[in-house]
Amino acid sequence: MPEYFPKVKKIKYEGPGSKNPFAFKHYNPKQKVMGKTMAEHLRFGVAYWHTFCGTGADPFGLPTYNRAYHHSDPMREAEMKLEAAFEFFTKLGVNYYCFHDFDIAPEGETLAESQKRLDHIVKLAKKLQNDTGVKLLWGTCNLFSHPRFMGGAATSPSPQVFAYAGAKVKKALEVTKYLGGEGYTFWGGREGYECLWNTDMGREFDHLGRFLHMAVDYKKEIKFKGQFYIEPKPCEPTKHQYDFDSASCYAFLQHYGLVDHLKLNIEANHATLAGHTLHHELAFAAAHGILGSVDANRGDELLGWDTDQFPTNIYETTMAMYLILKAGGFTTGGLNFDAKIRRQSTDPEDLFHAHIGAMDAFARGLKNAAKMIKDKALDKIVAQRYKGWDSKLGKDIEGGKVGFKELEAYTFEHGEPEVQSGRQEYIENVINEYIA
Ligand code: XUL
Ligand code: CO
């Protein structure tokens, strides 16, 4: 097999003092933190679509990257790309990857031809997985690039498009199962609208609910044991997407009786597009028992779109890891770098710098968060803030023992509530002491 990244050797942990750009300064896969290794906690994944299919093209400009696996025959390119991908995973030392069906194999003229191509590449992927020990974190299906999906897939006005989408997801589920995938993600792509005047919103929601039930049924039928995720995103490519944020996904899952079958795959840049933070989205998911996996990236504070940059902000990785650890850590999910290098980062080695930096940023977040938990840095402050709920009044309200009449009688007797400070600035100072 040719070497596609000849300038890079296996990336090792060299510790914080290292000046080697191709070494980890913080991510030490075997180092134990709160009883588990860093690798077990962080479960890093590489996103095939950005890292191996990204070209550097943007809406204004042509591709800028040259890669050793580019080839005039699309199937030969797919084979070489896969070999390059596994060389990359192994050199980087990540245990997982994620892909859409036609990231790894080019779509053919017909569904049958596409499936044949996919089968060929997936066999090769299985061999490379076995040779390297790299696993599939989750599989997914591209229901947004082809022109047939311009009006959505499950929410398309055409039942023929719905059928095509069902056929694609069926195959993607089979392939994910064949590769031992630990999960499967549904990202809406174009499940939303551009113009409300031509959209029957209620009907589109019902169709999306029906589609996901079909997926749940087929999952049972083929005995695929992986976890299903739905990935919220408020807009882009459509003006409004139905899986807007964690809260709207939760309402949707509940309404259609799907809440026991899907958890959330939360993406940092989608959170900010929705006017939230990653912290908010994780907190909502954790509070409702649907925190599944994370697409780790970041937006640009000054740009309003999904720039999908690699995460570098230690404050954010600390907050994220704090919530993830508090929620019990990842089980089937992980940190998938749904992120792309910039258009001018044209060298193949830039892919290594991007992932090394992001892995170190999350390793630092993990260590900081574990220290906060060990020191119980916030526990007392939060417990103090809610201590009233341990009183008789609090317990009676939470236990459903009192109603408005009792609350009125209590208030007549006790008058104005006690005032207590939220101590936000103090808490922010405490947290800053942990950002290392
Ligand atoms: C798009 C996005 C997708 C999903 C998988 O913004 O995040 O790549 O993660 O379809
Ligand atoms: Co994503």
How do residues 343-361 score in pLDDT, each as one tens digit? 999 999 999 999 999 999 9
Q: Quick check: 266 and 291 in contact, CB under 8 A?
A: yes
- Output the pLDDT for position 304: 85
- Residue 1 pLDDT > 90, yes or no? no
Tell me how many domains the chain contains: 2
User: In this structure, are 232 and 332 located in the same domain?
Assistant: yes
User: In this structure, are 59 and 164 located in the same domain?
Assistant: yes
- Residue 374 pLDDT > 90, yes or no? yes
Pocket lining: 360 vs ligand 1, CB cutoff 6 Å: no
357 lies in a domain? yes
21 lies in a domain? yes
Pocket lining: 267 vs ligand 1, CB cutoff 6 Å: yes
User: In this structure, are 300 and 390 located in the same domain?
Assistant: no
From CA 71, how far away is CA 368, in angstroms rounded? 45
User: In this structure, are 387 and 321 located in the same domain?
Assistant: no
308 lies in a domain? yes
Report which secondary-structure segment, H or E, holds 426: helix 424-432
Report which secondary-structure segment, H or E, holds 413: helix 404-414
396 lies in a domain? yes
Which of the following is catalytic: 100, 207, 270, 276?
100
Which of the following is catalytic: 103, 295, 308, 338?
103
240 is catalytic: no
Pocket test for ligand 1, best of 53, 101, 230, 233 (most atoms within 8 A of CB): 233
103 is catalytic: yes
User: In this structure, are 158 and 64 located in the same domain?
Assistant: yes
- Output the pLDDT for position 287: 98
5 lies in a domain? no
Last residue of a domain, one of 353, 375, 397: 375
1 lies in a domain? no
How do residues 237-250 score in pLDDT, each as one tens digit? 999 999 999 999 99
pTM exceeds 0.95: yes
From CA 152, how far away is CA 230, in angstroms rounded? 16
298 lies in a domain? yes
Neighbour-count burial for 16-32, b at 16+ CB within 10 Å, e otherwise: eeeeeebebbbbbbeee
- Output the pLDDT for position 181: 98
Could you tell me the distance, in angstroms and rounded to a whole number, from the CA of residue 113 to the centre of ligand 2? 27
User: In this structure, are 347 and 394 located in the same domain?
Assistant: no
User: In this structure, are 263 and 405 located in the same domain?
Assistant: no
Pocket lining: 338 vs ligand 1, CB cutoff 6 Å: yes
User: In this structure, are 27 and 122 located in the same domain?
Assistant: yes
- Output the pLDDT for position 213: 99
User: In this structure, are 408 and 337 located in the same domain?
Assistant: no
Could you tell me the distance, in angstroms and rounded to a whole number, from the CA of residue 131 to the centre of ligand 1? 28
Residue 353 in tokens: 């710098």
How do residues 184-215 score in pLDDT, each as one tens digit? 999 999 999 999 999 999 999 999 999 999 99
Pocket test for ligand 1, best of 136, 187, 308, 335 (most atoms within 8 A of CB): 187
Instruction: Report the CATH number that the domain containing residue 329 is assigned in CATH.
Output: 3.20.20.150
Could you tell me the distance, in angstroms and rounded to a whole number, from the CA of residue 362 to the centre of ligand 2? 17
Last residue of a domain, one of 356, 375, 394: 375
User: In this structure, are 409 and 265 located in the same domain?
Assistant: no
Residue ranges making up the domain that contains 402? 379-434
Could you tell me the distance, in angstroms and rounded to a whole number, from the CA of residue 315 to the centre of ligand 2? 21
Pocket lining: 340 vs ligand 1, CB cutoff 6 Å: no
User: In this structure, are 346 and 384 located in the same domain?
Assistant: no
Compute the mean pLDDT over every residue in the chain, rounded to the nearest whole number. 98
User: In this structure, are 371 and 385 located in the same domain?
Assistant: no
2 lies in a domain? no
How do residues 146-173 score in pLDDT, each as one tens digit? 999 999 999 999 999 999 999 999 999 9
- DSSP label of 197: G
Q: Quick check: 118 and 107 in contact, CB under 8 A?
A: no
